[in-house]
A and B are shown apart, each in its own frame.
Chain A
Amino acid sequence: MPNMNMLQAINQALDTAMAADDKVICFGEDVGVFGGVFRATSHLQDKYGRDRCFNTPLVEQGIVGFANGLAAQGSVPVAEIQFADYIFPAFDQLVNETAKFRYRSGNLFDVGGLTIRTPYGGGISGGHYHSQSPEAYFAHTPGLRIVVPRNPHQAKGLLLAAIRTPDPVLFLEPKRLYRAAVGEVPDEDYELPLGEAEITREGTDITLLAWGAQMEVLEQAAELAEKEGISCEVIDLRSILPWDVETVAESVLKTGRLVISHEAPLTGGFAAEIAATIQHRCFLYLESPIARVTGLDTPFPLTLEKEYLPDHLKVLEAIKATIDY
């Protein structure tokens, strides 16, 4: 199995999807000849022509509006928003249009073919506007699927599934891992399930839950905790919406403890939703309060990014505090 980084895996997923179905169309700012500012769409225009891989004008609301119409027509658009920080001009198209297209028409029309790819998250010295994690805004919107991969293998399989699922998907790519995460990725066409979490490490004392780039942080923290005799079960949520309550609840029923981590600010972050649901499902089994290790309730900083981010040490401290409660 070849080794590759996450960008190469994403590029391969797009290539695979475009080869398998000529209705798949990729577009966005700088996506054409240049192959995207991160090169996720490299060589696709050469291979599939300008009609199927092209630059758009610099207008996010236009890109998503266009993508909605194209999907309603029966094409399979894969639109790129260059940074998740710049998705907000398209908020109306995503929240009022994409998410409600099928529902409001009584299933006469849908944009199920639509996938929006966008890099999110910190760790690249990007400051306020190249670092945000906006998943919670969209998680409040029934009708959208939100998917986040943690490594190259997951990225290819989840992206292929996202492109082919009959629901619109917001596919958030942890850009810190674009080149940093390298791993084995099968050459063949494969899909990984949407709406299903994955237990990446089995354990008995405490459950650690995250998604995307934060999975690396949980792994590091679990290693450190192991040395102190704490057995951690680690879960990658993978889909933020709809999310896999069962897998998380079953794990917490077993361990009695839960730490959730995300880069986005604490207040109103998706960990809050998970905590509320899990305390309801597992109330009598909980040994301690559910802990959240997140960014601060500030705009994303620049120079003090390391201090802001929920790193492995902060997670380790939360694990110990939860165990010793």
Chain B
Amino acid sequence: MSTTASADIVHEPTFLNGDEFHIPRLELLRQDGTLHPQAAPPELERETALRIYRAMLFTRVLDERMLAAQRQGRLSFYMQSTGEEGTVVGSTAALDPGDMIMAQYREQGALAYRGFGLDEFMDQLFGNEHDHGKGRQMPIHYGSKTLNYLTISSPLATQIPQATGYAYGQKLAGDGHCTLTVFGEGAASEGDFHAALNMASVLQVPVIFLCRNNGYAISTPAHEQFHADGIAPRAFGYRMKVIRVDGNDILAVYQATQEARKLAVEHNQPVLIEAMTYRLAAHSSSDDPSGYRSRKEEEAWRDKDPVLRMKLWLEGQGWWSEDEEKQEQETRRREVLEAMKRAEKRPPPPLDSLVSDVYQELTPALAEQLEALKAHIRKYPEAYPKSAPALDTERGDARDA
């Protein structure tokens, strides 16, 4: 039965709905970049702080440029993380580089912080022959084995129970690592979310569940997604530790994740973090928020910009200046444009990569299908400009073929 003791027995019907709990929100930094008077900020060295800020700034520059590229028709699709950089980069910075990150799709800041190369971003976005994913997934589905960042998968919430399983393996391996999985408040409605939290709690695994509560699942506002006080109360149902933070407060996110990591790694306790933030951008390049939310609402959140807040804090510390800001922005913009031009020019992955990696070894049936396809393309080369020119040249990475 495993429920609370008999002391709690009552003799008249008593219903509870969770309103008895009041979930506090951790805030350390005010919007003007100064600390709340009672706040005890985490130790954050200048070097780490600047690395965080540069990753946030880079993410914003990348997002602006790539959305523009999509609008110009150079890129098929894009997703910005504007407004949520603090949640993503702050949490990543609090991890060990050996910790696994299983993200949803709006977490490019995590990769930026860990050192994913600009060309690696671009090659994935353009699906060219250098893309780690061999041009098989839509733009923004990044992955990096060396940076411990699981390749993105479009179906929502599937990564959450996988994180529980991955962390279980880390626990058995005993190497002191944990897994951070990131998802939106909409994805938390999926069954996979509940399965993952329950299993993590029952099996006591070192996993951090980070919910980016950014107010919208495409057009559906949070109040039409759930009736409770956010996502945080769900942790109680699984007797899991939970903390709610101001997701636009880099110091709060960093500190909460640091503490969560200790619980996970040192005590094998899973933790849920609910980061309150706002998706300032559209859901994706295919979305137009003006159909479902007001300018006024967006402006109110623009005033709570996490990048601006961190910038003000850095300036207060004497670690950053307006000149450095300008120079950093210009440099990154130029670099992004140059990398984009390089990536656009690279050829697509070779045709053989169409059939490799389905199984570890190429199956006879797939080899046959590939040969039939090649014969067809040779017959109508003009119809298949991406593959026809390189069809019979040895090239690329068709390891399995």
Q: Is the CB of B199 within 8 A of A57?
A: yes
B100, B155, B365, B399: which contacts A97 (Cβ < 8 A)? Answer: B155
Q: Which of B139-147, B219-227, B284-292 contacts A (4 or more CB under 8 A)?
A: B139-147
Stretch binding the partner chain, chosen from B103-111, B157-165, B323-331, B378-386:
B157-165
Interface centre among B166, B169, B194, B199 (most CB of A within 10 A): B169
Q: Evaluate contact between B165 and A104: CB separation under 8 angstroms.
A: no
Closest to A145 in B: B359
Known: A73-B169, A142-B358. A62 touches B199 (CB 8 A): yes
CB neighbours of A245 from chain B (8 A): 364-365
> B168 is contacted by which of A64, A70, A246 (Cβ under 8 Å)?
A70
| Chain A residues with CB under 8 A of B365 | 242, 245
- The contact string, 1 if C-beta is below 8 Å from chain B, for chain A 67-107, is 11111111101000000000001001100110010111111
Q: A93–B151 contact, CB under 8 A?
A: no
**Chain A residue, CB-CB nearest to B200:** A66
Q: Per-residue CB proximity of B146-188 to A under 8 Å, as 1/0? A: 0000110101001011111111111011000001000000000
Known pairs A97-B155, A104-B136; A109 contacts B198 (CB<8 A): no
| Chain B residues whose C-beta falls within 8 Å of the C-beta of A96 in the assembled complex | 153, 155, 158
Contacts of B145 in A (CB 8 A): 108-109
Q: A69-B161, A70-B166 are in contact. Are A62 and B192 (CB under 8 A)?
A: yes
| Chain B residues closer than 8 Å to A231, beta-carbon distance | none
A166 at the interface (CB under 8 A from B): yes
Q: For residue B394, give the distance in angstroms from its CB to the closest CB of chain A.
A: 19
Residues of B contacting A93 in the complex (Cβ-Cβ under 8 angstroms): 158, 161, 192
Residue of B nearest to A277 (CB): B365
- Please determine whether B195 and A62 come into contact, CB atoms closer than 8 angstroms: yes
Interface residue A228 (Cβ < 8 Å from any Cβ of B): no
- Residue-wise, chain A 119-149 has the 8 Å CB interface mask toward B (1 for contact) of 0000000000000000000000011010000
Asked if A193 CB lies within 8 Å of chain B CBs, one says: no
Q: Closest CB-CB distance, B133 to chain A, in whole Å? A: 4
- Let me know if A70 and B132 touch, CB within 8 A: no
Are B166 and A69 within 8 A (Cβ)? yes
**Is the CB–CB distance between B359 and A242 below 8 Å?**
yes
Query: Would you give the shortest CB distance from B145 to chain A, in whole angstroms?
Result: 4
Q: How far is the CB of A156 from chain B (nearest CB, A)?
A: 23
Q: How large is the interface on B (under 10, 10 to 19, 20 to 34, 35 or more residues)?
A: 35 or more
Q: Is A66 a contact of B164 with CB atoms below 8 Å?
A: yes
Alpha-carbon distance A167/B363, docked complex (angstroms): 12
Report, as a range, how many residues of chain A touch the other chain: 35 or more
A73 touches B198 (CB 8 A): no
Question: How far apart are A53's CB and chain B's nearest CB, in angstroms?
Answer: 12
In the assembled complex, the CB of A120 is this many whole angstroms from the nearest CB of chain B, namely: 22
| B161 contact set on A, CB distance < 8 A | 61-62, 64-66, 68-69, 93
Point out the residues of chain A lying under 8 angstroms from B363, CB to CB. 195, 242
Cβ of B401 to closest chain A Cβ, rounded Å: 13
- Residues of B328-382 contacting chain A, CB below 8 A: 353, 356-360, 363-365
Are B359 and A65 in touch, CB under 8 angstroms?
no
List chain A residues, Cβ under 8 A from B141.
104
A263 to B239, CA, bound (A): 45
Q: Which residue of B lies closest to A108 (CB)?
A: B145
Residues from 176 to 219 in B contacting A, C-beta threshold 8 Å:
179, 191-192, 194-196, 198-199, 202-203
CB neighbours (8 Å) of A143 from chain B are: 358-359
Please judge, given known A-B contacts A57-B198, A59-B198, A62-B198, whether A69 and B137 are in contact too, CB under 8 Å.
no
Does B131 sit within 8 A of A, measured CB to CB?
A: yes
Q: Cβ of A212 < 8 Å from any Cβ of B? A: no
Would you call B133 and A104 a contact (CB within 8 A)?
yes
B261 contacts partner chain A, Cβ-Cβ < 8 Å: no
Query: Which one of B155, B167, B357 contacts A92 once the chains associate, using CB atoms below 8 Å?
Result: B155
Is the CB–CB distance between A65 and B192 below 8 Å?
A: yes
Q: How far is the CA of A21 from the CA of B164 in the complex (A)?
A: 22
Residue of B nearest to A102 (CB): B357
Pick the most buried of B132, B198, B359: most chain A CB atoms within 10 A of its CB.
Answer: B359
Question: For window 95-128 of chain B, which residues contact chain A by CB distance below 8 Å?
Answer: 100, 102
Q: Are B162 and A68 in contact (CB under 8 A)?
A: yes
Instruction: Determine if B279 is an interface residue (Cβ-Cβ < 8 Å).
Output: no
> Would A70 and B165 be within 8 Å (CB), given that A57-B199, A96-B153 are in contact?
yes
**Chain A residues whose CB sits within 8 angstroms of the CB of B143 once the complex forms:** 105-106, 108-109
With contact pairs A57-B199, A62-B192 given, residues A73 and B165 touching in the complex (Cβ less than 8 Å) = yes
Question: Are B170 and A73 closer than 8 Å at their CB atoms?
Answer: yes
Query: Is A56 at the interface (CB under 8 A from chain B)?
Result: yes
* CB-CB under 8 A for A61 and B168, given A110-B360, A242-B363: no
30 CB < 8 A contacts A-B:
A54-B203, A56-B199, A57-B202, A59-B194, A62-B195, A62-B199, A64-B161, A65-B161, A65-B164, A65-B165, A66-B162, A66-B164, A66-B168, A69-B161, A69-B166, A72-B150, A73-B100, A92-B192, A93-B161, A96-B155, A104-B133, A104-B151, A104-B153, A105-B133, A107-B356, A108-B144, A108-B145, A110-B360, A112-B360, A167-B359
Given contacts A69-B162, A72-B150, A104-B151, 20 further A-B contacts (CB under 8 A): A62-B164, A65-B164, A65-B165, A66-B165, A66-B199, A68-B165, A69-B164, A69-B165, A70-B168, A75-B168, A75-B172, A89-B191, A104-B137, A104-B153, A105-B132, A106-B132, A109-B143, A167-B360, A242-B359, A242-B364
Question: Which residues from chain A sit less than 8 Å from chain B, CB to CB?
Answer: 25, 51-52, 54, 56-57, 59, 61-62, 64-75, 77, 89, 92-93, 96-97, 100, 102-110, 112, 142-143, 145, 166-167, 195, 242, 245-246
Q: Which 7 A-B pairs have the closest CB atoms?
A: A65-B161, A62-B195, A69-B165, A69-B162, A73-B169, A105-B151, A66-B165
